[in-house]
A and B are shown apart, each in its own frame.
Chain A
Amino acid sequence: MIKLRIIRYTLFLVLGTGIQFVSGAQDKKGAPSIFQVTTAETLPGDAVLVRGEFLDKITGIRIVRLGDEAITNGLPSYVARPREDGALDEGGTALRFLPSPSRDEVSVRPLMQNSQSLKFIVPRQWGEGVYCVRLEDAAGGSSYFYLNTPKVNWVISEEGLRATAGDYLRIQGKNLSRKGGAAMVALVPLKGGNTVFVPVSKSFDDYSVQVTVPAGTTPGVYHLYYHNGKGGATAWSEPLKIEVVNAAPKKWEKKEFSVLAFGAKGDGVNDETPAFRAALDAAEQNGGGTVIVPKGRYMLTGELIIPPYTQLKGEARELTQVFWNPLNWDLGELPNSLITGSHHFAIRNLSMWASRAWGLIMLNGPIKEQGNVTLENISVQQSAELGGMVYQVKANRDKVESEINSRWQRTGIILRGENIIVRNCTFNSSGMYTFFAVSGFIQNSRFTRQGTGINQPYMMVHPKGLIFEDCYKQSDGYGYAASIDESRNLYEARNVIPYNYTNDREAMTLDGGSGAYAGPVAGVNGTLLTLPKGAETWQWTPDKWNGGGVFIIEGRGAGQFRRIVRHGLDSIRLDRPFLVDPDGSSVISITTVRQNLFFVNNEISDAGAYQFYGSSENCVLYGIKMKRCNGIVSRGSLLYHGKQPNWYIDIVNCELREGNYSHWFGINDRGHSGAQNINLIGSGGGGLNLGVLIRRNKLGEFSYIRTSPGGNDRAVSDVIIEDNSFQTAKTAISLGGTGTQTFGVLIHNNHYTDVIKNVDAQTLSKESYLILDDGRTSSGQ
């Protein structure tokens, strides 16, 4: 039973009375500024990373555990959290709480402190919960942040990226689910009215939960606050502005059109194309409707276009099959797609069979219109093989493969836009699965590739608020699109990805991305950034990179990025100013942004890497289970003409077992074969792999952790390797590079069994790492 409380919203904030706000040093020139702090679940005894500028001026770290008092009688209240892509409390509200020093604070020792980072360890003796951290500087200023409070990134319902009154709402972020915590959502209307409190009804994991928005909730714009049950009244998340709507009526439900009434027979012999088209035309004339396909087998010879607000609905996928006569088109003359549509259409309860098809289901028409598509309870089989002796001849197979390969990226399924729902479907295709700029749900579906031997991947996903869960994906590798149009907000969980033996074998990759420029800046004035004269750019034409990111990867201000609003050849207008502007010491990179992509509890076996391969920020790999794979790669590097940073990645609670891995040849295959590992790569520049957390992973049977910097200083830096367990390994942790190419690594509280060498860092300088394992300290610090 869902327990709701609705209280009167008030601007009067009772919390924080008597607590003095200290602005901290964020606004003072030359004073410490914080860009990022650890946002993963942090237990007692865990380390915390703080990234920023002028952090060498921090003179004290004080920390206190907050009480877990009930939150039932108070308005939401939150403490703003530093962020690497914006200012503190951007989009904040009057419900922000400003902490002040507490008598219960304890001091903790800074570790590996320098001007741009420091680390510290939460007192081991405390209980789990929310911790308030205060950083003191020499000038007497203080900065505060909370650890373990929720961070809500995005929400989604059946109506898209918004809440629906009377229906469930999925919430994605971090620190959402705590053992013993009664998680709660507060919806505070922007224009006044009742605040709606809703308990979390279902927790999938720490990154995704579900609530039911009360049916009577007034449509409008709200601030959503989230509490995970820990930390008391001020430990709510920062606000996320969302829209609450009523469920839209489904226009296709208003009238049915049976294809039988238009001449279809369902006998598997008659050409049903005219009948299907006539039924679809009738639905379109009606402003939408349901085209019913009763049980039977229907032969089609041409493509179908489903008009807006129309669904094509079979009796059941076991009973209704539509198939396309493959003999209707000459080689290279296939239709663009067997079924196309633009927006607001659905296909349900039928099976589709086709061979020699390029596109199976694709969107068409103006791109801005595309979206709102539902595929539910359908099975799709596409085999390029017609069978028979003709196909047993290799030359024939080659022709068929060449036909498909001739327009590879426009084969299979291509869906685009908002509110794409794929549910309870089975796909077996010779082509690609492409979900471009999608928000929505892909759930409980099976994606397999009908192999033709073509050395082509992929499932390509370009998320903009996508839940991809409980699916089976067996194919040639899966990519997450890198385009200037930002990829963000993905929750991909509990998927099974077995057997991947072709192409590069990547089970998941964030590939591509490219870049436009890497080098110094001529100047920055607020949001206006100027490039040096003669800057060497790539694919740099006015406004091409709008939406892309400007990352400070080295020098002053490193670890921040901003998005491009517009740009010319010499100047760039940023979405907001940097907290600390770059100067002559700084190197920037203009490349793509891929943020908040969470991969949770997926299982991979017998495949290549599961990898961030290029630009990725604030992404998570949690609970990933791998067997006999290449391992996890977290890579920031110079790729495709772009210096692509890999920043603030959490690799936590993963399990890598059966670590003996053979890739293409088993040997001499560019080092892919060997022992499964978690590999942090930074190459092509400094500052490209920054702030990765590797915590509480289980690595068995030769699986291990390593860093692989290129030739640049601090190519991999500020890494926490903590509380990981190794069972049987040659070297458990291998820090690569020389001097300070791998830099700022804290190796803390790891556990080794049957390991020949715990840590190998022989070629690094001693200031590059600190080992605090089981109370033993070994390094230059």
Chain B
Amino acid sequence: MFHNRTIRLLLLSFLCLQLSASAGVPGKKETWAFGNFGEGASGNISYVKDKMVVSTQNTIHCFFDSDSYSYAFKKQAFPYDDCSRSAVSVSIDSFASGSAGIMMRTSTGLGAANVHLEVTSTGDLMLFYRKSDGDITLYSRVGKLPFPVSIRLVRQGNIFTAFYKNERQVWEKGGFASAFLGTEALIGFYACAGAKSQIGYTEEMNGPMQVNFYNREVAYQQNYTAPEQNFTDKMPVKKGTLLRDNFNDGSLSNKPETKINPVWSGITFGNLPRSEGGGRFWRKNGDGSYYLGSKKWADYSLSVDLKFNVQKEGTNELTLQLRYQSIAVYDKMARYYALAFRGGNKVFFEKYESGTLVFSKPLAITNYIDSKQHALKVSFLDRNYEVFWDGKKLLEGSDTLNPITYGNIAFAFSGASVDIDNLEVLEVDDPVNGSKDNLLQNYYDTPIPAYLKKYGY
């Protein structure tokens, strides 16, 4: 449980520990390791005034199955997951061919998990990420920039957010990705001579290239409050509880996992401040997507207390994904219903299939970023749904066209500053066929025929 006064106090006393200072300051000695990785890769590093000059050849790119690159790097401890924050910034002059940028990775080994924010010689800016060692590399396009470019890669927990300076020299967010780099990672600047077909499969290499890095900055912050010791949750458990998290243990990941002590997927350490009453809540800042529950949850209601804090920066967006179904291989094929808080105080109930918006229904909520606590409840029974805000029903309906009838839940944050408390998922009783009709996506209102039960359903 939390209270506004507590939040203010916490904000005032917020410990922001600056552990790393700027780098690349004229006259200040830097210590970067340097290496060339990949078959036949070569290159070197030098400094010309405040510019780090990296030359490289026989280096193509850092994605798919063939990492090859020249890399100026250093180790960085990152002990507290979402409570740790690393930001690396740099400016880059134009260069003849290939690509260059900021890279964070688990090791210099080929195929190591990594995230790299890359600008190509044509000015295309892309965010590449390989979630774990040996995994595939995915990417999203951020934009196209004129040289020189200034870019920043921020890591918070397992979330990596791209920034770039726009024409007004103001940092602008350019998308984010997730990857698992552990509690100690390499950070630094890389260059690749590139292939003549930069994105694709032609491996014919460009000749040697050289790139200048300057305005180099490395910053690290952490904000972590230890969990409660010997905590016992004495809150009564309601009948039909599928999941509950009141956050009072001060942890998102302590075990053993039970339905009243869920282990959140995708995050280990969260910022769980104490409220005035002695309980805890989760204050989520920044980006990230986190998953809970069973893929086979069918008819259920979700209730949660949310407080969107007024802030100077960030869009403060949250998409609560419900009956969430994903296909692990096919990254952009998720299906789910969503309570989407976005676009400057607008809230929508939406449906997505294959990553595409199917429908969007606006809710009569005029201002959710008000630093006030609100109670949200969403309920599903077969094809039917209801949405409540502070106890008032704002929406009800039935999705009869290919409804999504089961799935877990997820919280997807973007530029957020949200306090979350009293999350509860309760089973909704379905007198006709229970959850079987959800899994069959059929027979919602009539009993399942006996022969189907005999022969398999």
Contact = CB atoms under 8 A, between A and B. Distances in A.
A281 to B, nearest CB: 5
Interface residues of A, number: 32
A393 B327 contact: no
Contacts of A308: 451
Interface stretch (B147-155, B164-172, B328-336): B328-336
Nearest to B450: A284
A330 B325 contact: yes
Contacts of B401: 271
A304 to B, nearest CB: 10
B12 interface: no
B232 interface: no
Contacts of B331: 390
Contacts of B122: none
A615 interface: no
B393 interface: no
B146 interface: no
Interface in B321-359: 325-331, 333, 335, 353-354
Interface in B42-73: 64-65
Contacts of A394: 65, 136
Contact residue range for chain B? 20 to 34
A385 to B, nearest CB: 11
A274 interface: yes
A383 to B, nearest CB: 14
A327 B354 contact: yes
Interface in A33-89: none
A735 B457 CA distance: 59
Interface in B412-457: 440-443, 449, 451-452, 454-457
A182 B425 CA distance: 80
B455 A364 contact: yes
B330 A390 contact: yes
A301 B328 contact: no
Contacts of A399: 328-329
A13 interface: no
A307 B451 contact: yes
Contacts of A305: 451-452, 455-457
B390 interface: no
B442 A274 contact: yes
A365 B454 contact: yes
B402 interface: yes
Residue of A277, A307, A365, A392 contacting most chain B CB atoms (<10 Å): A277
Interface in B119-143: 134-137
B122 to A, nearest CB: 20
Nearest to B457: A305
Contacts of B335: 327
Residue of B65, B441, B456 contacting most chain A CB atoms (<10 Å): B456
Contact of A329 (B201, B327, B451): B327
Interface in A254-279: 271, 273-274, 277
Contact of B330 (A281, A327, A364, A392): A327
A464 B457 CA distance: 30
B3 interface: no
A520 B248 CA distance: 72
Contact of B449 (A274, A284, A336): A284
Nearest to A308: B451
A291 to B, nearest CB: 14
Given A327-B354, A341-B455, A302 B442 contact: yes
A386 B455 contact: no
A725 interface: no
Nearest to B324: A330
Contact of B456 (A271, A336, A390): A336
A342 interface: yes
B442 A333 contact: no
A301 B326 CA distance: 15
Contact of A330 (B136, B295, B440, B452): B295
Contact of B295 (A277, A303, A333, A365): A333
A396 interface: yes
A308 B450 CA distance: 13
A190 interface: no
B321 to A, nearest CB: 14
A400 interface: yes
B440 A302 contact: yes
B133 to A, nearest CB: 11
Contacts of B328: 330-331, 399
Contacts of A11: none
Interface in B234-287: none
A287 to B, nearest CB: 11
B64 A393 contact: yes
Contacts of B454: 342, 365
B369 to A, nearest CB: 34
A301 B137 CA distance: 30
A396 B136 contact: yes
Contacts of B325: 330
Contacts of A14: none
Interface in A227-261: none
Residue of A329, A330, A392, A400 contacting most chain B CB atoms (<10 Å): A330
A320 interface: no
A395 interface: yes
Given A327-B335, A342-B455, A395 B134 contact: yes
A340 interface: yes
A277 B444 CA distance: 13
B329 A277 contact: no
A330 B402 contact: no
A330 B65 CA distance: 25
Interface in B65-86: 65
Nearest to B453: A305
Nearest to A402: B329
A559 B271 CA distance: 79
Interface in B96-139: 134-137
Nearest to A341: B455
B126 to A, nearest CB: 15
A392 B330 CA distance: 12
Given A277-B442, A307-B451, A331 B327 contact: yes
Interface string B274-312: 000000000000000000000100000000000000000
A390 B139 CA distance: 12
Given A277-B442, A330-B327, A331-B329, A395 B451 contact: no
B135 A301 contact: no
A386 B295 contact: no
Contacts of A307: 451, 455
Contacts of B456: 303, 305, 336, 340, 364-365
A390 B325 CA distance: 19
B136 A395 contact: yes
Interface string A348-390: 0000000000000000110000000000000000000010001
B406 to A, nearest CB: 10
A394 to B, nearest CB: 6
A578 B454 CA distance: 45
Nearest to A281: B449
Given A302-B441, A365-B456, A400 B449 contact: no
A375 to B, nearest CB: 18
Nearest to A365: B455
Contacts of A330: 295, 325-328
A393 B455 contact: no
A395 B451 CA distance: 41
Nearest to A337: B456
Contacts of A395: 134-136
A306 to B, nearest CB: 9
Nearest to B135: A395
Given A331-B329, A364-B456, A390-B329, 8 more contacts: A274-B442, A301-B441, A305-B456, A307-B455, A330-B326, A364-B455, A386-B330, A396-B136
6 contacts: A277-B442, A327-B333, A331-B329, A342-B455, A393-B136, A399-B328
8 tightest Cβ-Cβ pairs between the two chains A and B: A331-B328, A395-B136, A393-B136, A365-B455, A364-B456, A271-B402, A399-B329, A307-B451
